[in-house]
Structure 1
Amino acid sequence: MKWMRSKNGRAISLCVLVALVVALALGLAYFGYRLSHIPLLSPAQQEWLSRKGKLIIAGDKYLPPFEYIEGNEYKGFNVDLMYSLSLHLGTELELRPMAWDEARRALERGEVDAIQGMRYTPERARIYDFTRPFLQSYSVIFVPVEQEGVDELEDLKGLRVAVQEGDIAHDFLKAMEGIQLITAPTQAEGFQLLLEGKADAFVGNKWTGLYNLKRLGATGAVKAVGDPLFPSPYCMAVKKGNKELLEILNRALAALQKDGAYSLIYEKWFGTRPEERPSRISLPSIAYLTAALLMI
């Protein structure tokens, strides 16, 4: 009996350790399962969404890579984000691409429920309510490659500057004196004004600008200059006072960022992972932890 105790003591201890590790792994897995199955919306929110029937979401008709029409397809980062949001909420979405200034007016008139992507500013916050941000956006100055002496906003005085109607650059620059603003329905058309010599500079979204340069075959003709302009959170926007929808969208966006769907969509359109790190332990991590403990 003494011999069995000394010979099997290590084996018994190992069995106890394995049992504890397995119990820990199962406990963590169950905890993760329970967390993942917490209802996204409260009963009151689910009832509100059910009565609503579907959500009508407006977006820019041509703001690549965020949202744009190509052929008969409406596509882009924001569009994929909205489809994923629809799946999380379990509700139907109707996406309506339109001219940007028209989209803003449609939301103000209550003809749509939300805009799928808008840069936040304090001035805009007086008109709309904004969700939690899902990325940081900014503008830059684009000029002909041979242009010198333009590095900041003050250098635009005395120049013809193209902007998109209703864009954040339009909102800011129209308040500056000495700039001759030329508005265009889309950022691509604003770029075209620059390429045709009808504008001396174009101010717009950096990512959209680089996309348009490549599409127009003008990467060697135009350059981006200066520091980023108007850095601002990029959010969804709802009509002022629509607190019910705002909270529903905030919960859905948080779920997208937590479960990894947001990261996959971001990487698809921007070629890199967002700065946020996963906030939950995945089952592969638990398995790795279990294997490591068994090797002790």
Structure 2
Amino acid sequence: MPLAAAAILTVAGCTSTKPTAAGGSEIELAKAGKLTTCTHLPYPPFQVKKEGKVVGFDVDLVDLVAKELDVEQEIVDTPFEGIQSGEDLNAGKCDVAAAGMTITDVRKQNLDFGAPYFDATQALITKKGAPYKTLADLKGKTLGVQASTTGEEYAKKQANGVELRQFEDLALLLTAVKTGQVDAGINDNGVLYDYVKQNPDTEVTAEFNTGEQYGFGVRKGNEALRKKIDEVLEKAKSDGSYDKIYEKWFGTTPKK
């Protein structure tokens, strides 16, 4: 998103784990014995609260990193703006940003990403049977977008003659589609397909080839933690752990 990069602040009060990164560098954590993750709820199946606990695809992957560091993951629910701008990481609010977040050039100015771990694209969701298969079909109609997302940016550029209505989070956006407050909504395909499985009165009517990839973010310059995340994800993909987690949350294994 075109947001100004936040100033890099000195993180005070950090604690260190044992030396685990390449070259013997220590990984600094915001809280002793915790790998603190900033996310923005709800965004199922990547992160969602169920029975008082935050679970999801991203949660399980970051748990692998926490296990490798011999600490527990602690999740902080915070507005997406502070995550993708790097402000939460800079202030020491968390160690990792894991929020189904697309890697973009603008975001790279604000935080450092690990290697991509999930392929995504934008998609259109409507009430079942609605006649909207393209953005052009929505001319003169209303399209719901989630604030500060790549879906919102795509709609601003491509949805000519369409009225955009902004929502703070995914749940509000999807409720607006389901109840007819907007004619359609745009967001990442993974979360929309997850929603329609539970809400058969809605459907995904189109995908747009935006070629997006998700990444976990760390504070700018935090190379030790970034490298550790990459190391753990690479191992998970080679030993089958990633595929098992993927199938758990998406009901299928990833395309090779």
TM normalised by structure 1 equals: 0.69
Q: How far apart, CA to CA, are the structure 2 residues paired with 1:166 and 1:51?
A: 26
Higher helix content, 1 or 2: 1
| Residue 243 (1) aligns with residue 244 (2) | no
Contact 2:189 2:207 in 1 (8 A): no
Match of residue 238, structure 2, among 258, 263, 278 = 258
Shift in Å at residue 40 of structure 1?
6.5
AA at the equivalent of 1:235: G
* CA 1:102–1:48: 2 relative to 1, 3 Å: closer
**What residue in structure 1 maps to residue 149 of structure 2?**
167
1:80-159 mapped onto 2 (5 Å cutoff): 80-105=60-85, 106-107=87-88, 109-110=90-91, 111-116=93-98, 117-148=100-131, 150-159=132-141
| Residue 71 (1) aligns with residue 51 (2) | yes
Instruction: Tell me the alpha carbon deviations over residues 224-280 of structure 1, each in whole angstroms, 9 at most, x when there is no partner.
Output: 22233423111111233333322222122222222222122112111222345xxxx
Q: How far apart, CA to CA, are the structure 2 residues paired with 1:113 and 1:231?
A: 27
Q: How far apart, CA to CA, are the structure 1 residues paired with 2:44 and 2:221?
A: 30
Q: How far apart, CA to CA, are the structure 2 residues paired with 1:274 and 1:210?
A: 15
Contact 1:107 1:114 in 2 (8 A): no
Q: How far apart, CA to CA, are the structure 2 residues paired with 1:199 and 1:59?
A: 26
| Residue 191 (1) aligns with residue 171 (2) | no
Contact 1:41 1:251 in 2 (8 A): no
Shift in Å at residue 73 of structure 1?
0.9
**What residue in structure 2 maps to residue 29 of structure 1?**
none
The unaligned stretches of length 5 or more in structure 2 are 1-18
Q: How far apart, CA to CA, are the structure 2 residues paired with 1:189 and 1:99?
A: 14
Contact 2:29 2:95 in 1 (8 A): no
Identity %: 25
Higher alpha-carbon Rg: 1
Q: How far apart, CA to CA, are the structure 2 residues paired with 1:265 and 1:168?
A: 25
Instruction: Tell me the alpha carbon deviations over residues 3-47 of structure 1, each in whole angstroms, 9 at most, x when there is no partner.
Output: xxxxxxxxxxxxxxxxxxxxxxxxxxxxxxxxxxxx9633523x3
Q: How far apart, CA to CA, are the structure 2 residues paired with 1:103 and 1:50?
A: 17
Q: Secondary structure at the match of 1:118?
A: coil
Q: How far apart, CA to CA, are the structure 2 residues paired with 1:229 and 1:56?
A: 33
**What residue in structure 2 maps to residue 227 of structure 1?**
207
* CA 1:88–1:259: 2 relative to 1, 3 Å: farther
The unaligned stretches of length 5 or more in structure 1 are 1-38, 277-296
Which ranges of 4 or more aligned residues in structure 1 deviate by more than 6 Å? none
**What residue in structure 1 maps to residue 3 of structure 2?**
none
* CA 1:173–1:107: 2 relative to 1, 3 Å: farther
Q: Secondary structure at the match of 2:154?
A: helix
Q: How far apart, CA to CA, are the structure 2 residues paired with 1:51 and 1:202?
A: 37
Q: How far apart, CA to CA, are the structure 2 residues paired with 1:163 and 1:190?
A: 7
* CA 1:213–1:273: 2 relative to 1, 3 Å: closer
Q: Secondary structure at the match of 2:180?
A: coil
Match of residue 48, structure 1, among 27, 32, 36 = 27
TM normalised by structure 2 equals: 0.79
Shift in Å at residue 194 of structure 1?
1.4
Q: How far apart, CA to CA, are the structure 2 residues paired with 1:225 and 1:162?
A: 15
Contact 1:103 1:115 in 2 (8 A): yes
Shift in Å at residue 155 of structure 1?
3.6
What is the aligned-residue RMSD (CA, Å)?
2.6
AA at the equivalent of 1:60: H
Contact 1:84 1:261 in 2 (8 A): no
* CA 1:52–1:258: 2 relative to 1, 3 Å: farther
**What residue in structure 2 maps to residue 287 of structure 1?**
none
AA at the equivalent of 1:140: A
Q: How far apart, CA to CA, are the structure 2 residues paired with 1:249 and 1:160?
A: 40
